[in-house]
């Protein structure tokens, strides 16, 4: 997976994904926006 120029491991992505779920339970716009704060440029989820 790629985050702009920086490579993000699957493990790092999953940890970030689950930590964001502590604040936003679903995968809506709020969740996507918060993921964008931590992993800018990353698409999908």
pLDDT in the model for residue 45: 46
* Measured CA distances, 29 to 9, 34, 37 (Å): 23, 9, 12
The pLDDT of residue 41 is 78
- DSSP for 1-45? -EETTEE--HHHHHHHHHHHHTT--SSSHHHHHHHHHHSTT----
pLDDT of residue 1: 52
Residues of the chain with pLDDT under 70: 1-6, 43-45
């Amino acid at each position: 997976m790629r985050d702009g120029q920086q490579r993000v491991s699957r493990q790092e992505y999953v940890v970030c994904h689950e930590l964001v779920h502590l604040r936003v339970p679903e995968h809506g716009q709020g969740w996507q926006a918060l993921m964008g704060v931590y992993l800018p440029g990353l698409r999908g989820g």
